[in-house]
Homo-oligomer: A and B are copies of this chain.
Amino acid sequence: MSIELTILGNSSATPTLNRFPSAQYLNMLDHHILIDCGEGTQMQLRKYKIKKSKLHYIFISHVHGDHILGLPGLIFSMNLNSRLEPLHIFGPASLFEILDMFLKHSDTRLRFDIVKHITDDSKREVIFENMLIKVTSFPLYHRIPTTGFIFEEQSRLRKLNIEACERYHIPFTFYNDIKRGKDFISADGKTEISNEKLTYDSGLPIRYAYCSDTIYDKRVINEVRDVDWLYHESTFLHEKLERAIETKHTTAKQAGMVAKEANVKNLLIGHFSSRYEDLNELLEEAKTEFPQTEIAEEGITFVFE
C-alpha cells in the first residue's frame, strides 16, 4: 500500500488556459481522498483517469470559489452514476449551507448519504481516524474561515524477517502480533524471542500537510513542523508582497521560509496567480529558501516514501 498525491489543479482564483483551480487526489493506504474541489475538478478526474466512484473522503479548506465550485457538479455526477456508498465531506459549516441550497433548488434527491463533518478553524483537532490513517485540521489565516489538513499514517507495522521467523519456527498465527511489535513467547512460556530478531524497522509514518490560502504566519510553521511533505500555497512572487498581504496570501519566498523554519523534508508549491505564465520563476524563488521544492504541477503524481 502506497501514498500518492496527484495534482488536479494549481491555479488560484482565475483559471488559466492550462491551469485549473485547486484540487488534489490523495491515495493514502487505499483511502481515496479529494482535497479541495475547484471548478472543473470532475473534468480533471476524468482526464487523469481517476474514478470518481472510488472517492469516499473530500476535505475542503474554505469556501472560496476556486476551492469548491467543482463540488456540486461532482456530487450531481456521482448521483447520476448511481452511487450508493456514503460520501464523507469535511469542511466549514457554510459549505453545507451552499450544498443544501443547490440540492434544494435543483430538486436533486441524492441516492447516497453525504456525511457532513464540520471543521472548526479556531483550533487544531483530529477530524478523522482509523487503524491506518489520521487526519488533523488546523487554523490557517485567510480572509474567511480556512483550515489546513495533515494526513498521516498511523504507526507503521514492522516488516517481518521471514528467514528469521522460519529459523525460530514461529507459527503463522503469531505473525500479525509480531508485525505490531510484540515479542514471541511460546504457548508453554519456555521460548521467548525478542521482536527485533524477527522484524525490520519499516520507517516512520509519513505525514502530508496541505496549507491552502493563508497569509505567512508563524503559527502555521508550528502546525506543520517536521512533516515529510508540505504543500503550501505560493500565490505571488515576493515582489508582490504587498498584494499578498492585502489578499492574505503567501509569496514563493515565504512558502520556502515556512518549509525551512518548520524543518519539513519536501515542499510542493501551488495556487499560482494567473499572472504567471512561467512557473519556474516561482520555483526558483522558493528554492532560494528551501532547495527541496517542487512545483505542484497539474497531472503529476508524487509518490511519498
Contact = CB atoms under 8 A, between A and B. Distances in A.
Contacts of A144: 105-107
A65 interface: yes
B69 A14 contact: no
Given A39-B69, A42-B39, A65-B72, A105 B97 contact: yes
A73 interface: yes
Q: 10 shortest A-B CB distances, which residue pairs?
A: A94-B105, A14-B77, A39-B73, A65-B76, A40-B40, A63-B105, A69-B73, A107-B144, A65-B73, A64-B106
Copies of this protein, total:
2
Interface of A: 13-17, 20-21, 39-40, 42-43, 46-47, 63-66, 69-70, 72-73, 76-77, 80-81, 94-95, 97-98, 101-102, 105-107, 143-144
A205 to B, nearest CB: 35
A77 B70 CA distance: 15
A39 B42 CA distance: 9
Given A94-B105, A101-B101, A17 B81 contact: no
B39 A143 contact: no
B46 A17 contact: yes
A106 B65 contact: yes
Contacts of A47: 17
A43 B40 contact: yes
7 contacts: A13-B76, A13-B80, A39-B39, A39-B73, A65-B72, A97-B101, A107-B143
